[in-house]
Amino acid sequence: MKKFLFILFFTTLFSISIYADKVKYVFLFIGDGMSMSSEYAVSNFLYGKDKELIWNSFPVQTHMETWSINSYEGEYNKNNFNSEKGYDTKIAGIVPYPYYETQDAEEYFRNSEPTDSAAAATAMATGNKVYNWGLCFDKDKKEFIHNITDKLNEKKEYNVALITTDKFYSATPAGFSSHNVSRDNRKEIAAEILSKTKPEIVAGKNDFNEMNTFAALNDYYCLDSSEINKPQVFDLVNKKIFLRLRRYFVPDPIPDFTSKSFDYRNTNNKFADVVLYATKILLEKKKPFFALVEVADIDHANHDNDFNKMLGAMYELNETVKSIYDLINSKDTDMTFDNTIIIVTADHSTGMLRFRRYLGKGKLPIVFTTKQDNATIITNMQISYESTGHTNELVGCYSVGAKSDLFKKYINEKNIIDNTDIYNVLNEIIFNK
């Protein structure tokens, strides 16, 4: 009996010591295409002033460079490069629009080649700058690069969750969970995620119906996002989950709102509900986890220069981050800010949204439509979009919780970090390296 108690005590002590110096729960939220203009816009719409989003209260707040090798002026050498050739602070500034604007900076953003989501995700997931379009792929060496999920799978100490409003095999989640010469090889990427990487939870859209069967063959329990608020027939704690996001739409902003600021469709799943559902299952598994959470519709809206849709997507991100922040504060789980970290950032900026006039609380741009020579001319006197593509602008990066102070190690004298520093921080807080 004494021998048994000694073994039990030693085993418990050992399991505690494994995680004593590590962060137990890691949330990385990515607002795809989230420019600082996007943050400014939704904060003003909701609150009538800037910097009122949930992450604006976090103790770590900095700006981040997102350039890829495609953006670099001259030959890029990983061991000897000048970051000014990826993002020129002398021209573009050390803070993003709307806090800095010059004619030279605007011209720079119009002409410099930006990253794409695949290269940006790879930088954050591996700590390596790569060429656009490849996923964890070194084009020069013609070899694949280990990402953070690969390392987690090798150690077997953490579960991994991929949760996105986009297709689960799209560039951002794929950059954290697959390896491919091109992000366009979507079926290959989807198959690798479900059969090789095998995150504990995969949640997102899916246009390949055969992937449901493929997921089941690879030990996933498949369910629809409409089922998350219904009683579960099966115990999901010991199962991997493949959750198909269906009938998902970002909410519509309500102009001049008095109480409710955004309107959801009746069949809609709020993304916060999906993320909370996944978090609950992860916690029930009694194991540390890394959760990548992406709101992709910000990027889609900014590509389309759709201001209202962008506001809805930004609102979804803010509400989702807030739901996790509030859950940690609630003390209803074992998550605390001593064992959990939240990181919020963007992979790149999209759309080059610019403001001609101030838009206050509940105010949406007024669009004038006129006819001229049988053509429809749309005029907006309050905002403009200078691009339908990505731009090489700085984006925001924010953090709160366990070991979030590690970011200060990488923030330079200009209050800027590089997107590869996301990996560096993750590597330190999870692996103590």
Rounded to whole angstroms, how far apart are CA atoms 194 and 30? 21
Regarding predicted confidence, which is higher, 194 or 1? 194
- The boundaries of the domain holding residue 381 are 23-431
pLDDT tens column, 165-223:
999 999 999 999 999 999 999 999 999 999 999 999 999 999 999 999 999 999 999 99
Decide if 371 is inside a domain.
yes
pLDDT tens column, 68-106:
999 999 999 988 999 999 999 999 999 999 999 999 999
Decide if 9 is inside a domain.
no
Decide if 17 is inside a domain.
no
Rounded to whole angstroms, how far apart are CA atoms 210 and 317? 30
Q: DSSP of 27-73, one letter per residue?
A: EEEEETT--HHHHHHHHHHHHSSSS-SGGGGSSEEEEEE---GGG-S
Residue 20 has pLDDT above 60, yes or no: no
Residue 19 has pLDDT above 80, yes or no: no
Give the CATH number for residue 372.
3.40.720.10
Decide if 388 is inside a domain.
yes
User: Residues 54-76: what's their mean pLDDT?
Assistant: 97
Decide if 219 is inside a domain.
yes
Decide if 10 is inside a domain.
no
Decide if 2 is inside a domain.
no
Decide if 7 is inside a domain.
no
Rounded to whole angstroms, how far apart are CA atoms 69 and 365? 37
pLDDT tens column, 334-388:
999 999 999 999 999 999 999 998 899 999 998 766 666 666 555 687 999 999 9
**What pLDDT was estimated at residue 269?**
82
Q: For the chain, how many structural domains are there in total?
A: 1
Residue 285: phi, psi to the nearest 5?
-80, -10
SS3 content of the chain, % helix, strand, coil (to 5): 35, 20, 40
Between 4-8, 243-247, 369-373, the lowest mean confidence (pLDDT) is in 4-8
pTM: 0.93
How far lies 296's CA from each of 43, 133, 163, 173, 209, in Å?
Answer: 19, 17, 11, 10, 21
**What pLDDT was estimated at residue 265?**
87
